[in-house]
Amino acid sequence: MLTITIVEGKLVRDTEMFGSMDPYCTITFKDKKFKTKVHEAGGKKPIWGDSFTIETTSPSEEIVLRCWDQDVTTNDAIGFVKIKLSSLMINCGVEDWFPIMFENSTAGEIFIRSKFEPKGGN
């Protein structure tokens, strides 16, 4: 079991011309999708703290983390990153910043905390 906590973000890409962004993140793993709460007016420094648990069978699998700005009519993409599960399983868990990209440019970074609990213990 792998628990992934999306802690906070430091975003450099701003999708709003006026006002602050309302950022949230989604994680896609296989056919499952997880979503953090929306940080209303979180702007470029959102804080989430939402955790998700996935059951993994191989460290070579990967998740796709996307960061979005929620708007009334449509949600704007801020950036995304693909993360191999092996990088979240090291030492039974990590705490690290992961860079997100938008159209081959840096869009910011997301702080992730993970906890890996192998079946049968370490």
Query: In the chain, where are the structural domains located?
Result: 2-116
The CATH number corresponding to 2-116 among 3.60.60.10, 2.60.40.150, 1.20.1440.230, 3.10.129.10 equals: 2.60.40.150
45 contacts 108 by C-beta, under 8 angstroms: no
Burial state string for 62-101 with b = 16 or more CB within 10 A and e = fewer than 16? bbebbbbbeeeeebbebbbbebebeebbeeebeeeebebe
Average pLDDT over residues 38-65: 97
Q: Check residue 59 and give its pLDDT.
A: 93
Kindly report which listed range (9-13, 34-38, 69-73) carries the lowest average pLDDT score: 69-73
Give yes or no for residue 118 having a pLDDT over 90.
Answer: no
Give yes or no for residue 121 having a pLDDT over 80.
Answer: no
User: Which one-letter amino acid corresponds to residue 40?
Assistant: E
Cα 84 to its chain centre, rounded Å, is 13
